[in-house]
Amino acid sequence: MTQTVKIRVARREDLDAINAVIEAAVMNWRLPERIKRLALPSYRYTHIDYEHLEILVSEMIDIGIVGVAGCEMAEPN
């Protein structure tokens, strides 16, 4: 069965699911557990990030959020 993936702008109520995806990714790095635990907090999104980033999520109907991208607008050079 093929799942359809939908990409949309993240909502504040997505924050827990977004951070769960990030945690799953970080915890799969091939590094010692201690390093992953120390690094993880700096990768988590907070409500403040919504003020500075455009955050997109990829979502599958039966699974939920499976991916995330945060983009910050930059000034042109």
> Model confidence over 4-40: pLDDT tens digits?
999 999 999 999 999 999 999 999 999 999 999 999 9
pLDDT digits (tens, 9 = 90+) for 45-72: 999 988 889 999 999 988 999 999 999 8
The DSSP call for residue 37 is: H
Does CATH place domain 5-71 in 3.30.450.80?
Answer: no
Q: Helical H runs in the chain?
A: 15-27, 33-43, 49-52
Please check whether residue 51 is in contact with residue 43, taking contact to mean a CB–CB distance below 8 angstroms: no
Is residue 74 scored above 90 in pLDDT?
Answer: no
Name the residue among 77, 73, 70 with its Cα closest to residue 21: 70
Q: Where are the domains of the chain?
A: 5-71
Report pTM. Answer: 0.85
Sequence-distant (6+) residues with CB within 8 A of 17 are 57, 64, 65
